Amino acid sequence: NLIILNPIKGIKDPGLKIKNNTNGPGVLITDIRKNGLFKYYGIKNYKIILFINEIPCMNHKLVMEQIMTLDISNKNINCIFLND
């Protein structure tokens, strides 16, 4: 599933914690903070992110670095999630 997270005025924090998915590809969302961009779009805990902006999500540290280097107040984040 592709979800495009468009910038929201005043939201500069993605608001999520992730860890490596030990059961397959991608990274697992373990916590969504209430004031973050991911919460605004209704993304829930325990969803698996496979790609962000067409880059495979292989390691939680690299994915967080990628997200944090984006200026989420000005740029879209294109996320592809594993189907539920």
DSSP for residue 10: T
Whether pLDDT at 2 is above 70 = yes
Residue 32 is predicted with a pLDDT of 96
Pairing of strands 48-52, 55-56: antiparallel
Instruction: Give 34-76 pLDDT, tens digit per residue.
Output: 999 999 999 999 999 999 999 999 999 999 998 888 877 788 9
Residue count of the chain, please give it: 84
Residue 44 is predicted with a pLDDT of 93
Query: Which amino acid makes up residue 24?
Result: G
**Considering the entire predicted model, what is its pTM?**
0.91
Q: What is the mean pLDDT of residues 24-31?
A: 96
> Of 46, 54, 53, which is closest to residue 82 (Cα–Cα)?
46
Whether pLDDT at 84 is above 70 = no
